[in-house]
Amino acid sequence: MAGGRGLGHILERNLRLDLTVVVNHWLTHSVNLWLTTAMDEIAKAQRAVDRAREQLTATVREARSNGRTWAEIGDELGMSRQAAFKRFGEVTNPANGQKITGGSMTVAQIQQFTEKVFDHIGAGELDELEQLIHPDARKELSQEVIAETWAKVLSEIGGKESYEDTHVVVPAGDRIEDGDSVLGTVVGVTTVNCEAGEVMGRVAVDEKQRIVGLLIVPTDHSPLPF
């Protein structure tokens, strides 16, 4: 009897182990299958977004060729005529006959550039920052002016810690959606979180990704020059 109970105990234990292996294998397979399906759906959705963007660009340019104004197009898209032009515009450079189209810069590039500017400022890398400033703007945006302005920030709310809600707007103020490309001068905007508060940083960037304007102000500052 004791031997029978021992054998039964061994069989029961082995059965539990086998079931555990089967269940774990099933769970692992199910999770992997779910992850694969989810990633496939993400890739499919991204392709659909890309196709929709291409179709929208083609449709807008067709509307322009049929005489529609940027104001009309902007109304349909819920943006200003300038924002519509900067996103979809296409003009010819009279100097060389080459077309200049919307898409010379992406929103992501401007977002990264904006944070890079304040990385340089926060680290005191003013020589590196000066190389990013348009030559015509270097007198107004001198190293002395930038250093003095940042020193005031440090004395009030401490050093830079992080960024929040970095985005891009046209000079008129309309926000440009993530994933879009833009034409001409735009403004990168970010909230610079410091040790004891935050400030708003604004960087006006031309089509060659050169700084043509720089602003460090309280987050509720108004009116804004750009």
Which tokens go with 93?
């450079």
> For the chain, where are the alpha helices, taking DSSP H only?
2-65, 70-77, 81-88, 107-123, 126-130, 143-157
For residue range 109-123, list pLDDT tens digits in order.
999 999 999 999 999
Positive or negative, the Cα torsion across 171, 174, 177, 182? negative
202: nearest Cα among 159, 177, 171, 181: 171
- Check whether domain 105-217 has CATH 3.40.1180.10, yes or no: no
215: nearest Cα among 123, 207, 223: 223
| 10-residue averages of pLDDT along the chain (226 residues) | 52 56 63 72 81 88 91 90 82 72 75 96 96 96 96 96 95 79 88 97 92 96 89
Give the per-residue pLDDT at 22: 57
Give the per-residue pLDDT at 6: 57
